[in-house]
Amino acid sequence: MDNLDEALPAEVVHPLKLTSLKDIKDAYSRLCQEEIAVAERLEWSVGNRHHLEARLSQLARLVPTLQLVQADAKQLENTISFTHQLANNVSAKVRQLDLAKSRVVETQKRVGDLLDLEGCSGGVATALAQEDYETAAAHIHRFLAMDETLLLHTTDSASKAESVETWFDRLRQAERELSATITRKFDDAVKREDLASVDRFFKLFPLLNKHEEGLKKFTTYLCAKIQETTAQNLSSAQNLGPKEKRSHVIWADTITLLFEGIARTVEVRQPIIETYYGPGHLSLVLEMLQRECDRQAGRIVSEMRKHRRLDAVVSAVRDALRFSGSKETRVDLPDPRDLDTLLGELTLMNARAELYLRFIRRRISADFEASIPDKIERDKHEAAFEAKLSHTQLICDMAVIVGDYTILEQFYLNESFKKALAMDTVEEIAKTSSLVDDAFYIIKKSVRRAIASSSVDGVCAMLNHAVTLIETQLAGGFNQTLRKGFPAQGYLDFNQAYTVLQSSLQSTLQAGKINSSSTDFDALRQAFLTALNNGETSMHHVRRLHQTLEDNISSAMVGLTPTSRAKLDSCLSDLKATTGRLGIVVEFGISQLRATAVKPRVKPWVDIFTTTSHDIKEEEFACYEANDPFSQTLMVQVDGLLGSFVPLLTDENYKSLVSVLVAEVAAQLEKAVMKTTFNRLGGLQFDREVRAIVGYLSQVSEWGVREQLTRLTQMATLLNLENLGEVSEYSSTTTWRLTPSEMRKVLQLRVDFKADEIKKLKL
């Protein structure tokens, strides 16, 4: 069995290499195993001998059958290769047939063309003779769709070629003739104002492949109509009496008629153009119409300038704005109230133009969408149209109008404000003066008028001018008044001072009398408080104005580009930011009030604390319980001070005053405490006082204000301790607002606490 040798070559080790006994034993056992396996296989083969023999004889019987199969397979192969060849031949023939068929079709078409050609050349002549231009044009259209040279080559004989050429010649001539006739008839129709004929011949141009010429002629006709209408409208506008109903906006009306006329023309003509010329021709028409629009709008605008004396008014106002510092005013300076109507008309003109331009843009983009499927290509066309549109005379004229409008509106705003300032009064019960309401009314009016003009630049400019007005005139003006200070000297008791102030104010208002020197102080006080309230109220006004204008802009100015939106947003946020400037002014006013009206008043009250001993006996403590020498007085005084300001300050300013008053009381009392000594009962008394004061101040102030009293409360806690050991107990539950060194200083105020023990405390 030599396959056995091969099957186990690795395991059979050369006997000479077996050097150790173990190796030899291993080799022996392996050989024994092999022998057993071989024996098993041998036994199996011998056992199956009969079966194997039967199989072999079966195989021998199969051999002839296999020969038969082989012969069959060979035959099949032959058949297949034959079929393949056949199929190849057939497909070649089919291709030939296809070619032949397409040539037949082509030939048929040429035959058809030739037949039509003959028909056309005959038909055109008769149609022309009968003035049936539609049929003639249809024939020519058919002829123009043919390929001349191909048809000439089709004919084999010279005579036939000749006749084809004559047909061609005849048709070419007919085409020229027809085109000339149509052009002439169209022009005639235009001259005769025969609308039906204009339409009739307009439809024939595309049949002669003269799309552009047809459109140009037609649009020229439309332009002439527009020119005519505008001339009529202009002359009736010029002749309109100043008393007529719409005379104050007649130029805006006239330009509106122009825009509406063009829009209507487009509306009516576009479907006709699309039907007979196909989509994609609108840009040519609109460009031509726009040129006419530019010319006509220019005429209207220059008429308007002349009649409204716009240039003179603008130049007077511009000089006035430029030399606003100088005293002499030009005599020809308009009254801002008279500008109202002019401003209204200018905004209306621009608003109408914007509306018209939006219509044109919408139409052109719809037309491009219908004719150019490729997005990139379409965008390119739209951008090109937009570039042309944005540099048209109309847009330039309107930009100049917006420029003029802005100058006048700026002047209107400033002058109206000056008037409001001159007429500034304080109503008897009002906390603010009339200026604030008036100023914001004027600003709102001006900016809203700018919004009505639909001009983004106009709105932005007016927002900027409004910001300037608020920051320089309002905030700046309030600041100036507040810098003069709040006079407190002259009266020891503020209540008394207040009564005098009220009565003198009333007498001033009622009788116009001016009292002696005290009135100067009263006037100053009044002015100070009004400025303070005005400043605070202005912040509310700014916030409300911002919201209103933002809403107005979003609803009135639709379809803005991202850039325009960003411009408006930037200017709007500048308006909102003026609250910051006003806030600083108000804050300054409150600090002035603290310095002159609060600080000097608090001082004597706290002095009572300093003069009251806190190193006291049982009897004094009991006596204080019934009749507190300090806290009661303080509360009454604070109440009196606050009470006197309630009718004088706006809610927000009053809150600020309470806050500074509480801060001042806390600060001064803290200082006073540090100068006082306490025994155990004194500490208890102080704790009682602080509780009463904190309880009272919490009632009159807002939650946040109480924070300012925490330090004082904690001082009272420290001074009210039984012994120093309690400090650590409190420390576990309290976040100290006092620094460790401050705590030690406070504890040292207790006469019965020992200094070295305080030093040892862990804080």
Q: Is 580 in the site for another protein (CB under 8 A)?
A: yes
**Stretch near another protein under the rule CB under 8 A, chosen from 137-145, 419-427, 462-470, 609-617:** 462-470
Q: Is 515 in the site for another protein (CB under 8 A)?
A: no
For another protein, which residue of 581, 601, 711, 750 counts as binding (CB under 8 A)? 581
> Largest alpha-carbon pair distance within the chain?
154
Are 653 and 530 within 8 A, CB to CB? no
Q: Which is nearer to another protein, 407 or 727 (CB)?
A: 407
- Decide if residue 403 touches another protein (CB under 8 A): yes
Is the separation of the CB atoms in 135 and 174 below 8 Å? no
DSSP line for 428-497: SS-SS-HHHHHHHHHHHHHHHHHHHTT-HHHHHHHHHHHHHIIIIIIIHHHHHHHHT----TT-S-HHHH
The residue (of 191 and 391) whose beta carbon lies closer to another protein is: 391
Provide, rounded to whole angstroms, the least separation between the CB of residue 663 and another protein.
18
Place of tokens 């862990």: 762
| Residue 210 interacts with another protein (CB under 8 A): yes or no | no
Q: Is 583 buried (19+), middle (13-18) or exposed (0-12) by CB count in 10 A? A: middle
Residues 464 to 493 in contact with another protein, rule: CB under 8 A: 464-465, 467-468, 471-472, 476
Of 564 and 633, the one with the shorter C-beta distance to another protein is 564
Of 261, 458, 589, 683, the one binding another protein by CB under 8 A: 458
Stretch that binds another protein, among 34-42, 94-102, 368-376, 388-396 (CB under 8 A): 388-396
SS3 157: coil
Task: Please tell me whether residue 294 binds another protein under the rule CB under 8 A.
Answer: no
Nearer to another protein, 366 or 584 (CB): 584
- Cα–Cα distance, 342 to 319 (Å, whole number): 19
> Per CB under 8 A, which region of 5-13, 218-226, 230-238, 460-468 contacts another protein?
460-468
Q: Is 402 in the site for another protein (CB under 8 A)?
A: yes
Nearer to another protein, 225 or 567 (CB): 567
* Per-residue contact flags (x/-) with another protein for residues 538 to 567, judged by CB under 8 A: -------------------------x--xx
Segment 313 to 342, residues that bind another protein, using CB under 8 A: 318, 321-322
Which range touches another protein (CB under 8 A), out of 86-94, 191-199, 334-342, 404-412?
A: 404-412
Q: How far is the CB of 463 from another protein (least distance, A)?
A: 8
Q: x-or-dash pattern for another protein, window 82-121, by CB under 8 A?
A: ----------------------------------------
Measured from the CB of residue 403, what is the shortest distance to another protein in angstroms? 4
Report the alpha-carbon distance of residue 12 to residue 5 in Å, rounded: 8
Distance CA 396, CA 408 (A): 18
Contacts of the segment 247-252: beta carbons below 8 A, 24+ positions apart = 248/341, 248/344, 248/345, 249/341, 249/344, 249/345, 249/348, 251/300, 251/301, 251/303, 251/304, 251/307, 251/308, 251/345, 251/349, 252/345, 252/348, 252/349, 252/352
The single-letter code of the amino acid at 301 is: V
Using DSSP's 3-state secondary structure scheme, residue 396 falls into helix
Q: Are 606 and 742 in contact (CB under 8 A)?
A: no
Contacting residue, 457, 615, 620, 670, with another protein by CB under 8 A: 457
Neighbours of 18 (CB within 10 A): 15
Rama region for 628: left / alpha / beta (φ>0; ψ in -120 to 50; rest): beta
Is residue 396 a contact residue for another protein (CB under 8 A)? Answer: yes
Q: Is residue 589 a contact point for another protein (CB under 8 A)?
A: no
Q: What is the DSSP letter of 708?
A: G
Residue numbers of the site for another protein (CB under 8 A)?
318, 321-322, 390-391, 395-396, 399-400, 402-404, 406-407, 410, 455-458, 460-462, 464-465, 467-468, 471-472, 476, 563, 566-567, 570, 573-574, 577, 580-581, 584
